[in-house]
Amino acid sequence: MNLQLPPLGPIMPEIFMTSLALILLMADLFIKKKEVLAGASILGVLVVAYTLIGSSGSTFGGMFISDGYSSFFKAIFFINLILSVLISIKYIRIERVNFGEYYSLIALSTLGMMIMASAADLIVLYLGLELMALSTYILAGFIRYDIKSNEAALKYFLLGAFSSAFLLYGISLIYGLTGTTSIKAIASFISEKGLVGNPALSLSMTLFVVAFGFKIAAVPFHMWAPDAYEGAPTSITAFMSVGPKAAGFAVLGRVFMIAFASIKFEWTFLLIPLSILSMAIGNIVALAQSNIKRMLAYSSIAHAGYALIGVIAANTDGVASMMNYLMIYAFMNIGAFAVVIMLRTEGFKGENITDYEGLAKTHPFLSALMLIFMFSLTGIPPTAGFIGKLYVFMSAINAGYTWLVLVAVVFSVISAYFYLRIVMYMYMREPKIEVGTSKSGTLGVALGVTAVMVLAIGVYPKCLVELARAALSGF
Amino acid sequence: MKYYLLIPFLPLAAFVINILFGRGLIRDKAHWISCLTIIGSFIASIITGIDVINGKIINEDLYTWIVAGKFSVSVGFLIDPLTAVMLFVVTGVGSLIFIYSIGYMHGDKGYYRFFSYLSLFIFFMLMLIMSNNFIQLYLGWEGVGLCSYFLIGFWYEKKAAADAGKKAFITNRFGDFGFALGVFMIFLTFGSVHYIPVFSEVKNIVGQTVNILGYEVNLITLIALLLFCGAVGKSAQIPLHVWLPDAMEGPTPVSALIHAATMVTAGVFMVARCNAIFNLSQVAMNVVAIVGGVTSLFAATIAVAQNDIKRVIAYSTLSHLGMMFLACGVGAYAAGVFHLYTHAFFKALLFLAAGSVIHAVGHNDIQRMGGLRKYMPITYLTMFVAALSAGGIPGLAGFFSKDEIIWSAFASGSLVGKFVWVLVTAVAFFTPFYSFRMIFLAFHGKFRGTHHEEHHLHESPPVMTIPLIFLALGAIGVGWVGIPEILGGGAHFAEFLKPVLGHPEFHGTHAQEWGIMGLSTTIAISGIIIAAIFYLMKTYIPIKLAQQLSPIYRLLFNKYYVDELYHHILIRPILWVSTRFIEGITDAKIIEGIVNGVPKTIGRFAVILRKIQSGVTQHYAIFMAAGVFILVALILW
């Protein structure tokens, strides 16, 4: 019997991440000042990020792969983690849930995302997905005494379990059909045996669309998102609007572009209505929201629709533009949530859109930052949001989906209404109530980093665009 | 090292620092960063200018912003003789105006904001003139417009200032719309937005036409006229001139910098830059020359009857800008740019001196001034020099450039050239007349204001008068680089620009040149003499004249009623139609149906869709299941 260990190089970041999560959990017992844990988790992630360099290759018999594609997504996850922790530190104190396991759970959830991005096998994929999801359910319900937070967690959990069932059903169908769970082997089996057109294969693919559609919160599998986003602690809303969504796109890209490459026509056919519906429902229902977290939840649904267009283009340019979009989305969305968190003070929720009335008069600097994020979410140059949309749309036009881009542009215009409404409230209304802000150094760092990145990518997009393209070289 | 990058990016850095930390940390020290950075830009401009004189021309893309198929937008710089001249004007005159602003804006509660906007303005202006492509030009173009809007409405609590800002912004929309279309046409025609490929290929499309609503239109003429639309708006030519006089509501340094020396000349710069396009369309050239010539005379006559010191200078600016266009229109681009360059000095000086006067008197009405010369001798002397230079008195900067324009118009040999020559010769009389009317009324005679005001009269502090003195030296001397050959000079300025702007063909003898010069000089001097008679010796004449020629006087005083005309033919009918017709009859159905209805319908839709989000988890699960069914049905159908 061969008991030799497989090469651990490719999986080193995940090993370090696991250690980090466990160390944080242990250290929580001894350390009274939980801010130390926050600092430790950021430092730890930087170490993990360092191990990512030079970790390329595949291991565990090809079940786990570390390539440019996975590394790009892992970079998004690390950024997501660091920014979320930065905006959490003061916030969870205000919410009176300053517990150490918070940081450990964030690390575990990120570990799940990393495994998803690196999964070259459907079983590993499922493992990562569940690890990510379970940790996020707990985080969503982290404000134990708050009924809304509990509700968010429970709904997210129930529907998440429901969607997992679809994923497992899809995996078992494909296993029954091809006898393998390896993504590459599935692809070659389908093309060798000429399975294209097989209804069981199509059914299995459809079930993958459902499960991944749930993770990225695409319509009609989005219903959990507004309730979960609204009820969850705001810092976690920021975290889960970026991380799990990006992880969902990571597996979506890998499974569909590789395993189902030969039935490209069929899955693009399903993703198109998903994308259009997401943009439509996301942008239209956002108009009717009075709670900014709910508005951003619908906005996040709409952005999943835009990013899907890149996948629909179904070529390397399209996937690169989708990766690009998610990176940009991470910065602009967490930036917007950071502003929302800033308005949360002791005894004041600051979640109503009307709380932003006249903010420019009392907090001009914060308002200017919010303006940048809202412009970016709308897609107005010279912000990063414009670049993200531009490349997604361009890849779709080159792939022959001009009409889809036209639809997307129309919904972008509609989205301007509710994003710019915030700007209008801030700059053109008189303040009605006294709105305080909870200032903290770390929150300031997060705001500064996100704003600078949104503008820097908007002005100098070349680096990011080329990085995303280069990441796909071995894909 | 690409040190020329310092030129635009130093002011940008100043803007960022001032806007971020101005309110809390820097406050009344905001001028330090802004002034030092623009002086840095000036030094870098001089170094770059010396390189250009030595024959080093820079044309490179710094980086590509976005690439979409054939369409690539890049940030790139072209530094050739034309850019070098503009850099000298913008950073040189700009530096002096920045320093002057320290005194003028002292104690204003928006002090840091003022300097932030000024720095941002300079950044956009420099990006505009240093660009090597039309997109960046357009970006700078809109950027300076935006800063102009901020700065005109700087004292936004004042309704007139806020309104003037809006008027400038909206009027410019008309021109910029045409300009944007022009840039689109250029991209569609040439597949590039970079100057060099466009200008070198433009001769290949001579004679091509495009069909617009059934009319065959010459392509080059169309592009040139669309571009010129932008210039008409930005440089305030007829019929889009109405915003510039109102823009005087802004602080005076803004008027000097943006509405005299730099931004408003961007139109002239753009036409000169695109001379390769304009040269190939005689129609467009004639339009440019006639619009310029008519604006020039039109504005000069209005300036005669204005009593607001800044408005007199504003109309004078319109008139001089018209002359620059006129020069471009007859092919004498170098003469136009030469006048742009001298004008920047004497006009900035006129404005700053007027600002110094306003600073002392506290209002703008020259009828309520008088005798200021003994209170503020430096302001008086410098303004006198500026008026002489503007009036085209031999030996001063303005003379050489104006003379070159007049001669170019005459010598162009065309009928349009002769026509605009008549116009500009008439302007040569009015310019010194209104300039000296203003000086005599403000500085000579007795003070006509209240005792209280008289008590406050004082010369401005050195931080304001020193820039005045420097500008006065400029108003005297900057023209000496372009002394024409018949006066023993080498016309170095035109030679310097020749590689970019070419040289027009002249049809005239030396004798004619002497004659034209003599004529315009005589006319200019007579303008001063008549002003002296009217406003120094026999002060009853203008009053009597105004009574006897009351219709003409009123016409001029009311600026040919153009604002009223627009009010009646544009704003009133629009209001009338909208109140009577639309509001009364169709508003509730059509307009509301569209303007409010679409968002409302979407909103209603949103409310309905929102109800799906019932909050009940079972419903969500059912919804998901339904989604699964539909997808499966779709794929297995």
pLDDT > 90: percent of chain A: 70
DSSP bridge partners of B212:
B215
Contact at CB, A158 and B621, closer than 8 angstroms: yes
pLDDT at B489 over 90: no
Chain B nearest-CA residue for A273: B631
Report the residue of A284, A298, A414 to disrupt the B interface, i.e. the one with the largest count of B CBs within 10 Å: A284
Most confident of A358-362, A412-416, B411-415: A412-416
pLDDT at A440 over 90: no
Task: Quickly state the pLDDT bin for B590 (edges 50, 70, 90).
Answer: low
Per-residue confidence (pLDDT) for residue B597, from 0 to 100: 61
- Least reliable range by pLDDT among B11-20, B365-374, B541-550: B541-550
**Mean pLDDT score, B324-332:** 89
Longest CA–CA span in chain A (Å) reads 76
| Among A residues 63-92, those touching chain B with beta carbons less than 8 Å apart | none
- Least reliable range by pLDDT among A19-28, A330-339, B167-176, B544-553: B544-553
Nearest to B44 by CA among B94, B85, B4, B104: B4
Taking one residue from A and the other from B, the number of pairs with CB-CB distance under 8 angstroms is 92
Please indicate, yes or no, if residue A417 is contained in any of the structural domains.
yes
Task: Quickly state the pLDDT bin for A37 (edges 50, 70, 90).
Answer: very high
The answer to whether residue B615 neighbours chain A at the CB level (below 8 Å) is yes
Contact at CB, A462 and B63, closer than 8 angstroms: yes
A77 neighbors A243 (Cβ within 8 angstroms)? yes
Chain-centroid distance, C-alpha B326: 16
C-alpha to C-alpha distance for B162 and B173, rounded to whole angstroms: 17
Q: Which residues of B touch A462 (CB under 8 A)?
A: 63-65
**3-state SS assignment for residue B304:** helix
Q: Which residues of B touch A221 (CB under 8 A)?
A: 624, 627
Q: Which residues of B touch A364 (CB under 8 A)?
A: 23
The answer to whether residue B613 neighbours chain A at the CB level (below 8 Å) is yes
Chain B nearest-CA residue for A365: B20
Q: Look up the pTM and report it.
A: 0.80
Per-residue confidence (pLDDT) for residue A50, from 0 to 100: 92
Contact at CB, B634 and A417, closer than 8 angstroms: no
Per-residue confidence (pLDDT) for residue B592, from 0 to 100: 55
Please indicate, yes or no, if residue A162 is contained in any of the structural domains.
yes
Residue of B617, B631, B636 with shortest CB distance to A159: B617
**Mean pLDDT score, B318-342:** 89
pLDDT at A183 over 90: yes
Per-residue confidence (pLDDT) for residue B583, from 0 to 100: 58
Chain A nearest-CA residue for B602: A284
Residue B73: its H or E element: strand B71-79
Per-residue confidence (pLDDT) for residue A75, from 0 to 100: 95
Task: Quickly state the pLDDT bin for B574 (edges 50, 70, 90).
Answer: low
DSSP bridge partners of A1:
none
Token duo for residue B589: 């159905």
**Mean pLDDT score, A448-472:** 91
B367 neighbors B311 (Cβ within 8 angstroms)? no
Shortest Cα–Cα distance, B612 to chain A (Å)? 9
pLDDT at A403 over 80: yes
Token duo for residue A358: 């006249």
Mean pLDDT of chain A: 91
Per the structure, the complete domain to which residue A346 belongs is given by: 9-471
B125 neighbors B83 (Cβ within 8 angstroms)? no
**3-state SS assignment for residue A219:** coil
Query: Residue type for A401, please?
Result: Y
Please indicate, yes or no, if residue A427 is contained in any of the structural domains.
yes
Per-residue confidence (pLDDT) for residue A108, from 0 to 100: 96
Token duo for residue B437: 């009317």
Most confident of A176-190, B291-305, B419-433: A176-190
Per-residue confidence (pLDDT) for residue B492, from 0 to 100: 77
**3-state SS assignment for residue B72:** strand
C-alpha to C-alpha distance for A390 and B7, rounded to whole angstroms: 31
Token duo for residue A436: 């305080």
The answer to whether residue A420 neighbours chain B at the CB level (below 8 Å) is no
Shortest Cα–Cα distance, B81 to chain A (Å)? 29
Contact at CB, A224 and B599, closer than 8 angstroms: no
Residue of A154, A159, A266 with shortest CB distance to B635: A266
Query: Residue type for B269, please?
Result: F
Residue of A203, A220, A398 with shortest CB distance to B623: A220
Nearest to A91 by CA among A136, A38, A134: A38
Task: Quickly state the pLDDT bin for B31 (edges 50, 70, 90).
Answer: confident
C-alpha to C-alpha distance for A65 and A184, rounded to whole angstroms: 11
Per-residue confidence (pLDDT) for residue A336, from 0 to 100: 95
Token duo for residue B176: 């910029």
The answer to whether residue A410 neighbours chain B at the CB level (below 8 Å) is no
Shortest Cα–Cα distance, B605 to chain A (Å)? 8
C-alpha to C-alpha distance for A252 and A221, rounded to whole angstroms: 15
Residue matched to tokens 């005045």: B468
Q: Which residues contact A328 (CB under 8 A, 6 or more apart)?
A: A376, A384, A385, A387, A388, A454, A457, A464
Contact at CB, B631 and A270, closer than 8 angstroms: yes
Contact at CB, A210 and B621, closer than 8 angstroms: no
- More reliable by pLDDT, A67 or B595: A67
Chain A nearest-CA residue for B616: A155
Residues B149-172: tens digit of each pLDDT? 888 888 877 788 888 888 888 888
**Mean pLDDT score, A22-47:** 92
Number of domains in chain A: 1
C-alpha to C-alpha distance for A119 and A73, rounded to whole angstroms: 12
Per-residue confidence (pLDDT) for residue A112, from 0 to 100: 96
Residues B79-93: tens digit of each pLDDT? 888 898 899 999 999
Contact at CB, B624 and A210, closer than 8 angstroms: yes
Contact at CB, A223 and B626, closer than 8 angstroms: no
Per-residue confidence (pLDDT) for residue B588, from 0 to 100: 57
Token duo for residue B14: 């100043």
| Among A residues 41-60, those touching chain B with beta carbons less than 8 Å apart | none
Residues A96-119: tens digit of each pLDDT? 888 889 999 999 999 999 999 999
- More reliable by pLDDT, B399 or B637: B399
- Least reliable range by pLDDT among A4-8, A183-187, A455-459, B66-70: B66-70
B276 neighbors B196 (Cβ within 8 angstroms)? no
Chain A nearest-CA residue for B637: A199
- Least reliable range by pLDDT among A4-13, A430-439, B137-146, B218-227: A430-439
Task: Quickly state the pLDDT bin for B595 (edges 50, 70, 90).
Answer: low
Per-residue confidence (pLDDT) for residue A248, from 0 to 100: 96
Contact at CB, B635 and A203, closer than 8 angstroms: yes
Q: Which residues of A touch B15 (CB under 8 A)?
A: none
The answer to whether residue A179 neighbours chain B at the CB level (below 8 Å) is no
- More reliable by pLDDT, A294 or B583: A294
- Least reliable range by pLDDT among A289-303, A391-405, B105-119, B280-294: B105-119
pLDDT at A338 over 70: yes
pLDDT at B359 over 80: yes
Q: Which residues of A touch B64 (CB under 8 A)?
A: 462
Residues B236-258: tens digit of each pLDDT? 888 888 888 888 888 888 888 88
Chain B nearest-CA residue for A395: B68
Q: Which residues of B touch A288 (CB under 8 A)?
A: 603, 606-607, 609-610
Shortest Cα–Cα distance, A159 to chain B (Å)? 7
Task: Quickly state the pLDDT bin for B460 (edges 50, 70, 90).
Answer: confident
Please indicate, yes or no, if residue A184 is contained in any of the structural domains.
yes
Residue of A158, A202, A220 with shortest CB distance to B627: A220
List Cα–Cα distances, B599 to A38, A91, B129, B328, B607, in angstroms.
44, 36, 42, 49, 12
pLDDT > 70: percent of chain A: 99
C-alpha to C-alpha distance for B303 and B314, rounded to whole angstroms: 8
Task: Quickly state the pLDDT bin for A189 (edges 50, 70, 90).
Answer: very high
C-alpha to C-alpha distance for A467 and B562, rounded to whole angstroms: 57
Task: Quickly state the pLDDT bin for A135 (edges 50, 70, 90).
Answer: very high
Per-residue confidence (pLDDT) for residue B476, from 0 to 100: 87
Please indicate, yes or no, if residue A4 is contained in any of the structural domains.
no
Per-residue confidence (pLDDT) for residue A97, from 0 to 100: 87
A291 neighbors A352 (Cβ within 8 angstroms)? yes
Per-residue confidence (pLDDT) for residue A229, from 0 to 100: 93
Mean pLDDT of chain B: 83
Contact at CB, A460 and B63, closer than 8 angstroms: yes
Residue A66: its H or E element: strand A64-66
Q: Which residues of B touch A270 (CB under 8 A)?
A: 631, 634-635
Please indicate, yes or no, if residue A251 is contained in any of the structural domains.
yes
Please indicate, yes or no, if residue A303 is contained in any of the structural domains.
yes
Report the residue of B15, B19, B624, B629 to disrupt the A interface, i.e. the one with the largest count of A CBs within 10 Å: B624
Q: What is the DSSP string of A268-295?
A: HHHHHHHHHHHHHHHHHHHHT--BHHHH
Please indicate, yes or no, if residue A270 is contained in any of the structural domains.
yes
Contact at CB, A270 and B599, closer than 8 angstroms: no
Establish whether this prediction's ipTM goes over 0.95.
no
Per-residue confidence (pLDDT) for residue B596, from 0 to 100: 61
Q: Output phi, psi for A289, to 5 deg.
A: -90, 145
Chain B nearest-CA residue for A267: B635
Longest CA–CA span in chain B (Å) reads 101
The answer to whether residue A273 neighbours chain B at the CB level (below 8 Å) is yes
CA dihedral A411, A416, A422, A428 (to 10 degrees): -150
Residues B501-516: tens digit of each pLDDT? 877 777 777 788 888 8
C-alpha to C-alpha distance for A65 and A13, rounded to whole angstroms: 12
Task: Quickly state the pLDDT bin for B197 (edges 50, 70, 90).
Answer: confident
- Least reliable range by pLDDT among A15-19, B66-70, B371-375, B622-626: B66-70
